[in-house]
Amino acid sequence: MEQNSQVEKTAQMEILESQIRECFGRVVYSHKTQEKCADIVLSLHKRLKLFLIIISAVVTTSLLIKLFGDQDWALMIGVILSTILFGLNTYMKDYDLGEISQKHTNAANELWDIRECYLSLLTDIRASQLSINQIINQRDELQKRLYNIYSGSPRSNYKAYKEASKALKVNEELTFSDKEIDAFLPKELRRTE
Least confident of 70-74, 78-82, 128-132, 148-152: 70-74
pLDDT exceeds 90 at position 1:
no
Alpha-carbon distances of 105 from 51, 69, 146, rounded to whole Å: 24, 49, 16
pLDDT exceeds 70 at position 2:
no
The predicted structure's pLDDT at residue 175 = 79
Least confident of 111-120, 157-166, 168-177: 168-177
- Mean pLDDT, rounded, for 88-96: 85
The predicted structure's pLDDT at residue 122 = 93
Q: Alpha-carbon distance 183 to 29, whole Å?
A: 26
Tens of pLDDT, residue by residue over 130-157, are 999 999 999 999 999 999 999 999 999 9
Q: Alpha-carbon distance 145 to 143, whole Å?
A: 5
The predicted structure's pLDDT at residue 140 = 97
The predicted structure's pLDDT at residue 168 = 86
Mean pLDDT for all residues in the chain? 90
Residue 186: helix, strand or coil by DSSP? coil
Contact 164, 33 (CB under 8 A): yes
pLDDT exceeds 90 at position 95:
no
Q: Alpha-carbon distance 123 to 192, whole Å?
A: 21
The predicted structure's pLDDT at residue 171 = 86
Asked whether the CA dihedral 128, 132, 138, 140 is positive or negative, the reply is: positive
**pLDDT bucket at 77, cuts 50 / 70 / 90:** very high
